[in-house]
Structure 1
Amino acid sequence: MTKLIVEDRIDRPVEDVFRAIVTPEGLSSFFTAEASAAMVPGTTVTWRFGHVDATFEVLIGEIEPDRLISWTWPGGQVTIELADADGGTRLTVTEQPMADGIEGAAQAVGQTQGWTYFMCGLRAHLLHGIRHFGLSDAIRATVVA
């Protein structure tokens, strides 16, 4: 099974990063326009993304405080692993499955853009207090065979 892995490090403690991701207040400060509830294993939450006028039902999977966050949403399974990195946090986001061939390459490009925005938005929020520095609905990446 093909999977996409995006990694980064943020100079904030693991508990701050975890809380920013699993709470609706945190998540809607940098990633979603709205999150209906906190991430609790086995529950379904609704995330709204205003820049693309989309709403997703998200089934929350395993949650281990300050270590692991997982969910299933349209397109696949996402796992975020958090680890202490000298007082900061190492984040590893894995999304799977990616389709095979050119379709999978295009899917991976799009999801890489999204996870890069996620990491940059999280960093801007946690380090500088910036809320939604802006994601354009005009950004496009195209894979041509």
Structure 2
Amino acid sequence: MELKFRIAGRIAKPVEQVFEAVADPGQLSCYFTTGGAKGRLETGATVTWDFHDFPGAFPVQVIEVVPNERIVLEWQAHEGAGESGSAADYRTRVTMAFAPLDDGRTLVTISEQGWRESEQGLAGSYGNCEGWTQMLCALKAWLEHGINLRQGFYK
């Protein structure tokens, strides 16, 4: 069984604004990478993300960016649940798709795949599914209401 997941949500903003809120490190740091993001998401770049709840900046390789359509990333796999999990010696792939809807909203779909088929890989995929779901909720709250859902949520 291949370990992968896909989540989706609708943001009540135009696709250009939603895409930019993910690609721009300044905006991403306001609602998701609470320890800061360094580097714009552009094809071929390696950026750095840091989280207050998961300390220690780490590299994210940007595989492909199609403005207002898609962002594809790879990063070191994380196996296990929560903070007790550990980094593994392989990478997983994250694909974010942005689709404009007829009513002016944007459908954002995030998928990730590539974990080893093991109990640790399964736990890692569940943890990342939780994290990306939180990211999508935080993106919606930030863009639609100016609220940082992650502030004080973890520590």
Paired residues, number:
137
State the alpha-carbon separation in 2 of the partners of residues 43 and 101 from structure 1.
Answer: 31
Q: Normalising by structure 1, report the TM-score.
A: 0.87
* Equivalent of residue 128 in structure 2, options 84, 107, 111: 111
State the alpha-carbon separation in 2 of the partners of residues 35 and 132 from structure 1.
Answer: 17
**Residue aligned with 1:48, SS:** strand
Deviation at 1:79?
0.6
**Residue aligned with 1:58, SS:** strand
State the alpha-carbon separation in 2 of the partners of residues 118 and 64 from structure 1.
Answer: 20
Deviation at 1:70?
1.1
Which residue is equivalent to 1:102? 119
- One-letter amino acid of the structure 1 residue matched with residue 6 of structure 2: I
* Equivalent of residue 50 in structure 1, options 39, 49, 52: 52
Deviation at 1:101?
4.6
Structure 2 unpaired stretches of 5+: 78-91
Identity %: 36
**Residue aligned with 2:16, SS:** helix
Structure 1 unpaired stretches of 5+: 138-145
Deviation at 1:95?
0.6
State the alpha-carbon separation in 1 of the partners of residues 21 and 112 from structure 2.
Answer: 19
State the alpha-carbon separation in 1 of the partners of residues 38 and 144 from structure 2.
Answer: 25
Compare 14-23 and 1-10 and name the one that shifted more.
1-10
**Residue aligned with 2:53, SS:** helix
